[in-house]
Amino acid sequence: MDDSRWRAALVAEGDAIAAIPRDAYGAPVAACPGWDVARLISHVGRVHRWAAGFLRGDDTPVPRPEGEDLSEWYRESRDLLLRQLDGMDLDTEVDTFIGRRTVRFWLRRQAHETAMHRWDAQDAVRPGTAAPMDAEFAGDGVDEWLHVFVPRFLARVDVPGELAGAALQLGCTDLDLPPWTLRLTHPEPVIEYGAVAADTVLSGTAADLLLTVWHRVPATPPEATDADLARRVLDLIHVT
């Protein structure tokens, strides 16, 4: 995906978060139990500042804002990150939470972080009416989830014996992309591209697949596949 698309998403999705009305800040966020919209906005702003710190070589934790205009503080956080990203060569290697990667990793990660939590906030304010994600962007998000979060979270859990070797395939119905297949192999999972054998298949629009793997909507695969197996595989990877 083109770098400019990630930057544009970070700007547009961040603007949408900043535009959430203050009288909606108390709405509970279904995907993040115990959070309201204000906590969500604070989280995303802190993540922006934390990422900007990583890019500067400083991973000091960022405190929550107190007694500030949350919308303005959030916008300042997003803009701080943008200035940091814009001032660097995207091919430069930097630290990340999964080891050394390029600056481009942070641009992509923050674009998707912002988009997912924008969806969360809008869904909290008016359930079922959150603006849909662009198909190509969502497909890129599925790919990022597979390569960034799946290995990270599977390394923290004991995969049940009955799931060892299980293969979950994800197929987009609205993009001309080969399907992804996640295979729960030891010691690390394997991700395959293309039509390969799988134990269960999830197919849908790229946006629906992204929301499904991030546990924003239930997994509803076609009747011919194993819905229970799909849920058990996805339950191993929960990202806030």
Residues 117 and 144 in one domain: no
Number of domains in the chain: 2
Residue 224 scores a pLDDT above 70? no
Query: What torsion do the CA atoms of 81, 82, 87, 88 make, to the nearest 10 degrees?
Result: 70
Give the mean model confidence (pLDDT) for residues 84-106: 97
pTM above 0.75, yes or no: yes
Task: Report yes or no: 234 and 213 within 8 Å, Cβ to Cβ.
Answer: yes
For residue 86, what is the enclosing H or E element?
Answer: helix 70-86
* Amino acid occupying residue 165: G
pLDDT digits (tens, 9 = 90+) for 146-156: 999 999 999 99
Instruction: Tell me the helix, strand and coil percentages in the chain, rounded to 5.
Output: 50, 10, 40
Same domain for 110 and 12?
Answer: yes
Domain with 178 in it: what CATH number? 3.30.1050.10
Place 59 in a pLDDT band, splitting at 50, 70 and 90: confident
Q: How far apart are CA 205 and CA 84, in angstroms?
A: 33
* 230: pLDDT strictly greater than 70: yes
Q: Which two tokens stand for residue 174?
A: 């609205």
28 has which bridge partners? Answer: 36
